[in-house]
């Protein structure tokens, strides 16, 4: 075995959160590369320490704060150089960020096997930059680690061979449970005694126009419960830019906090309101209803089992929120559609097998013989020998 022969490429805090368990499972075989897409020294360091992760082995520069095109181009160039300097035997990317798109291309161009964690999510909304990143990575990945059977079916409909897909569950389940355990051992949070709503908004569709942002803020300001508003830097800047800072007087507004602290407030809340993708998964572990303020979602599983409600443009946020608050929370006994908390173990085992030269089908067959699958059964149809192009 060669130490650090599996490159784990990440660039945002959500990626750090979902990849943390996988990195720990890989141990010395992991080479962590941070692209700097959302690299804030202080906040990223807090997240890293909270997740008990080692420092990244490689940190790229000149990426954060740039346009989408510049981010992808810079990441692709730097990752290509890094893979040439020290060639890994497998590359792992997670999700749908610009980092993922660049990592997928860099691995493919170098002929290195690529594992895509959280593969097969589809919103069918090409106006979302993330959807383009998902589609691109779906074409280039060698092993697709789908969180749900619906994700697997999405990939098959796009022509991906089932032998390259495995339903692992989503690492967010164990990440959320781990954060809640960390919270239990930390100093208590200043959680309000009365019921409250927790809200966070940051996506471009809700912050890149005054009308869109004011729609959300005005709805939050008129809810029957106090609203704890965790303000993303992008959202705070937009509020200043559009002259909407007066809405802060109607909200309990705080700056971004550590992930485990956010989950603590979320678990104690009566309702969540957000445009976050990850929170659509986390709410299924927290057992708290979520109102999703977006025009589309790539995570329908959450709403299908009753955890979330999508409220698109033109729909009444306030009325929907009031309806959810008036409905007793019956989610405590509803299982998360995203798995049983062992996705990271499966994914790390797969990555090791791929790095050791197994074909996708053989790696999936070997892994599933050791770790029972979450979701649909898989059929390995490819030969055990494999040559990477």
Residues 6+ apart with CB under 8 A from 241: none
Measured CA to CA, the distance from residue 181 to residue 203 in angstroms comes to: 29
Q: Which of 350, 349, 339 is nearest to 374 (CA)?
A: 339
Q: Taking the mean position of all CA atoms in its chain, how far away is CA 106?
A: 21
SS3 274: strand
Measured CA to CA, the distance from residue 215 to residue 228 in angstroms comes to: 17
Q: Which of 1, 23, 121, 133 is nearest to 72 (CA)?
A: 133
- Cite the beta strand spans of the chain per DSSP E: 6-10, 30-34, 58-59, 90-94, 114-119, 143-146, 165-167, 197-200, 227-231, 252-255, 271-274, 290-293, 308-311
* CA gyration radius, the chain: 21
User: Which residue, chain included where needed, has tokens 């990575």?
Assistant: 137
Residues 6+ apart with CB under 8 A from 183: 189, 260, 261, 263, 264
SS3 332: coil
Taking a C-beta distance cutoff of 8 angstroms, is the pair 7, 92 a contact?
yes
260 among known catalytic residues: no
Beta bridge partners of 116: 93, 144
Token code pair at residue 273: 């309101």
User: Which residue, chain included where needed, has tokens 């927790």?
Assistant: 198
Q: From the candidates 202, 232, 259, 260, give the one annotated as an active-site residue.
A: 202
Q: At what angle do helices 259-268 and 41-50 cross, to 10 degrees?
A: 70
Token code pair at residue 58: 């490689």
Measured CA to CA, the distance from residue 126 to residue 111 in angstroms comes to: 28
Q: Taking the mean position of all CA atoms in its chain, how far away is CA 37?
A: 14
Measured CA to CA, the distance from residue 279 to residue 200 in angstroms comes to: 10
Report, as residue numbers or ranges, the catalytic residues.
Answer: 202
């Amino acid at each position: 075995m060669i130490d650090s022969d599996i490159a784990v490429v990440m660039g945002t805090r959500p990626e750090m959160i979902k990849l943390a368990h996988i990195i720990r499972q890989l141990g010395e075989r992991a080479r962590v590369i941070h692209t700097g897409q959302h690299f804030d020294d202080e906040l990223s360091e807090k997240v890293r320490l909270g997740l008990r992760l080692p420092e990244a082995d490689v940190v790229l520069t000149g990426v954060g704060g740039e346009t989408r095109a510049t981010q992808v181009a810079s990441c692709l160039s730097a990752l290509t150089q890094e893979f040439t300097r020290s060639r890994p035997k497998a590359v792992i990317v997670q999700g749908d960020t610009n980092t993922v798109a660049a990592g997928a291309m860099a691995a493919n161009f170098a002929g290195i096997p690529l594992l895509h964690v959280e593969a097969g999510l589809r919103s069918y909304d090409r106006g979302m930059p993330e959807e383009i990143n998902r589609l691109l990575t779906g074409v280039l990945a060698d092993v697709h680690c789908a969180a749900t059977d619906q994700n697997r079916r999405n990939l098959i409909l796009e022509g991906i061979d089932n032998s390259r897909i495995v339903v692992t569950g989503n690492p967010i389940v164990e990440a959320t449970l781990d954060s809640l355990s960390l919270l239990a051992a930390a100093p208590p949070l200043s959680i309000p005694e009365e019921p409250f709503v927790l809200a966070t908004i940051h996506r471009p569709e809700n912050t890149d126009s005054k009308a869109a942002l004011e729609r959300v803020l005005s709805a939050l300001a008129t809810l029957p419960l106090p609203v704890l508003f965790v303000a993303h830097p992008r959202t705070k800047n937009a509020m200043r830019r559009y002259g909407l800072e007066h809405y802060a007087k109607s909200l309990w507004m705080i700056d971004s906090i550590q992930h485990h602290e956010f989950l603590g407030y979320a678990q104690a809340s009566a309702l969540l309101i957000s445009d976050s993708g990850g929170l659509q998964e986390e709410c299924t572990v927290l057992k708290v209803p979520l109102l999703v303020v977006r025009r589309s979602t790539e995570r329908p599983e959450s709403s299908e089992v009753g955890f979330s409600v999508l409220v698109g443009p033109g729909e009444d946020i306030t009325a929907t929120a009031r309806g959810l608050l008036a409905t007793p929370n019956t989610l405590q006994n509803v299982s998360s559609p995203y798995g049983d908390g062992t996705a990271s173990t499966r994914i790390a085992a797969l990555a090791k097998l791929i790095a050791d030269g197994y074909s996708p089908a053989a790696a999936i067959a070997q892994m599933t013989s050791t770790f029972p699958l979450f979701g649909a059964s898989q059929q390995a149809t490819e030969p055990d020998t494999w040559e990477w192009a």
